[in-house]
Structure 1
Amino acid sequence: MWGRFSERRGTTLAAAIGYRAVFALAPLLVVVVSGAGMVFGEDAALGLLSRNLSQFLGPEMAATIQDFIATARGQGGVGLAGTLLLLWAGSGLFNELQGSMASIFGLVRPKGIRRAVKQRLITVAAVVALALGFAVLVAMAAWIPMSGSIVVAGAAAAFLLVSVVIGFRYLSQHRPEWRLTVAVAGGTVLAMALAALAVGLFVIREDGGSATGIAGSATAVLLLVYALSAVFLLGAAALRELELRGGPPSSRQRSSAL
């Protein structure tokens, strides 16, 4: 697993994703929040985003990401043309993920204008799907009382799991087996949660609890996305290695027994 990740320059790929995220995160979040806000109101969407970011990453990092959204929204109204531009910009992050997944899996990305357009449309669809999923979470937060916050948190975790599974399956032309994909995705989500918690603690420690230093800049977001991307790609490397070896040890033992 680590050998494939290192051989395919996983840390460099994660850094490239983080760099792309600095430019794509704001339009991506604007599309997601605006999509949910059209149905449930932007205050509800922003409120849910703020609460979850604060609980998961800490108030400093949450404030930084909210500043990203405010800056992007403050540049003018989002009409049809603006929405299309935001979708295109936000999809750039997924396009970078596609290239990284192909590299980790050891695939050569097909070339050609038609293929490039198709891949970009897939990434735009991923942005739309992310907005729809966030809208569902906003609806659950609005309809479930505060005592049901655990249910909402569980739904958010399930949404993240589904997102990772879809990423492993559809961000490249290779289609790994479903059961193995779900198993590896579960471990990847847990590792991503621990990585995000570690980054949040690091930001607070280095900044002394203030929002004016590292947590008040794009560096904090870059560090977070880099860590999450590295874990995601490490999970993809584990998935590919297990697939080439015939699945996890437990499944191989069952197969040999049969």
Structure 2
Amino acid sequence: MKRQAIWNLLKETFAQWQEDKIPLLAAALAYYTVFSLAPLLIIAIAIAGFVLGQDTVQTQLVEQLQDLIGREGAQAIRTMIDNAYEPTSNLIAAIIGAITLLFGATTVFAQLKEALNIIWKVTPQPGRPVRGFVKARLLSFTLVLGLGFLLLVSLLASAILAGISRWLEGLLTTPPWVWQLIDLGLSFSVITLLFALIYKLLPDAKIAWTDVGVGAAITSVLFTIGKFLIGLYLGNSGIASAYGAAGSFVVILIWIFYSAQLLLTGAEFTQVWANRYGSRIRPRRSLAIAPDNLHRVEAPPKRTPGSRRRKILKNIRKRTQKNQKHHQDFPKKSPLD
């Protein structure tokens, strides 16, 4: 890709980023994520815990979160999870708690779907609100299960990689950074797959897997770099101590807000890429409609010598007709005047 094409792509992405008000969408998504975080992690830990054990998964997850948002934020999330696991002897309360758990875990994906529909420039079809609500929640729950499965795959891969590195310590003198690089590549692949599933399945639009793959890879790069920068900022800014007792909550909220901005910015890039170089984003039949002002990025038509000649002749005819009309409207003077 040429340098000018890359610049145009980035410029168009930024223009669309401003038009769709990505910070506002990210703020709404962060608000819903805060309330969905505990049930979302509980379901993901439960799925991965079937294989690795619940305590092991929870401990490793908290350790990874500690690298991202610091010790205070990770401890706050662990407290949220522990409180949600408190057993109850009341059957009705347990049923209500399970329903609330599922509803809370899927709320963040429902809000993410609304944000992606805005970025994708599609609008859900009116009518059948109950059916649409149930279908959206089922799809969101499927993604929750997929998140738990990807967490399991990531933890298993890290455990297997650690076992292989320990086994090869006595046989090969492999530098530690090699295994760290492999672990980073595995994490990058898992995150890319998660973003690809979100971009492909959530919105009410059709988009080719090739376009989704490019957008998900770019989003993963943004997320990996941004994750490091956000962690560096939160670890050295002293925000947690500035807000006192609410410091842990503020740290979690800031981390979620900036992560949501990275996710939606990647979606904006995917939309521009698909419409400029890919197969274009189309609304799903009977599910969504594209607005009349749908923005399309198209290359300007090439001017041929014939089209230029026709344009010149057309301008000459217009000028001639205008002059003739001017002479006809001008009053004729009498010879005696």
Q: TM-score range by the shorter chain?
A: 0.7 to 0.9
SS of alignment partner, residue 193 of structure 2: helix
Q: Which amino acid aligns with 2:274?
A: E
Corresponding residue of 2:131 = 114
8 Å Cα contact 1:17-1:229 kept in structure 2: yes
Structure 2 Cα separation of the partners of residues 208 and 7 of structure 1? 31
The alpha carbon displacement at 1:52 in A equals: 1.9
SS of alignment partner, residue 115 of structure 1: helix
Q: Tell me the alpha carbon deviations over residues 94-139 of structure 1, each in whole angstroms, 9 at most, x when there is no partner.
A: 0000000001111112342112211110001111111122122333
Structure 2 Cα separation of the partners of residues 227 and 66 of structure 1? 21
Structure 2 Cα separation of the partners of residues 207 and 222 of structure 1? 15
Q: Tell me the alpha carbon deviations over residues 3-61 of structure 1, each in whole angstroms, 9 at most, x when there is no partner.
A: 11211121111000000011000110011112222332112101221232233443333
Q: Which amino acid aligns with 1:122?
A: L
The alpha carbon displacement at 1:141 in A equals: 3.8
8 Å Cα contact 1:133-1:159 kept in structure 2: yes
Q: Cα RMSD between the aligned structures?
A: 2.8
SS of alignment partner, residue 43 of structure 1: helix
Q: Which amino acid aligns with 2:115?
A: S
8 Å Cα contact 1:203-1:214 kept in structure 2: no
The alpha carbon displacement at 1:225 in A equals: 1.3
Count residues with an aligned counterpart. 249
1:201-212 map, 5 Å:
201-207=232-238
**Counterpart among 257, 275, 288 of residue 244 in structure 1:** 275
Cα distance 1:3–1:218, how it changes in 2: closer, same or farther (>3 A)? Answer: same
Corresponding residue of 1:158 = 189
The alpha carbon displacement at 1:233 in A equals: 1.0
SS of alignment partner, residue 2 of structure 1: helix
Corresponding residue of 1:129 = 146
- Is the counterpart of residue 14 in structure 1 residue 31 in structure 2? no
Structure 1 Cα separation of the partners of residues 143 and 106 of structure 2? 8
Structure-1-length-normalised TM-score? 0.85
Structure 1 stretch 121-130 or stretch 71-80: which is displaced more? 71-80
The alpha carbon displacement at 1:198 in A equals: 2.0
8 Å Cα contact 1:99-1:109 kept in structure 2: no
Q: Tell me the alpha carbon deviations over residues 118-177 of structure 1, each in whole angstroms, 9 at most, x when there is no partner.
A: 111000111111112212233334444353764444333211110101111111021222
Q: Which amino acid aligns with 1:100?
A: A
Cα distance 1:142–1:123, how it changes in 2: closer, same or farther (>3 A)? Answer: same
The alpha carbon displacement at 1:245 in A equals: 1.7
The alpha carbon displacement at 1:208 in A equals: 7.6
SS of alignment partner, residue 74 of structure 1: coil
Structure 1 Cα separation of the partners of residues 81 and 125 of structure 2? 34
- Is the counterpart of residue 91 in structure 1 residue 122 in structure 2? no
Compare relative contact order (CA 8 Å, sep 6+) and give the higher one, 1 or 2. 1
Structure 1 Cα separation of the partners of residues 278 and 16 of structure 2? 16
Unaligned residue ranges in structure 2 (runs of 5+): 1-12, 167-178, 280-297, 299-337
8 Å Cα contact 1:101-1:233 kept in structure 2: yes
Structure 2 Cα separation of the partners of residues 47 and 89 of structure 1? 23
Higher fraction of helix: 1
Percent of aligned pairs sharing the same letter: 24
The alpha carbon displacement at 1:67 in A equals: 2.6
Cα distance 1:34–1:82, how it changes in 2: closer, same or farther (>3 A)? Answer: farther
Structure 2 Cα separation of the partners of residues 211 and 155 of structure 1? 36
SS of alignment partner, residue 172 of structure 1: coil
1:170-181 map, 5 Å:
170-181=201-212
Q: Which amino acid aligns with 2:146?
A: A
Unaligned residue ranges in structure 1 (runs of 5+): 253-258
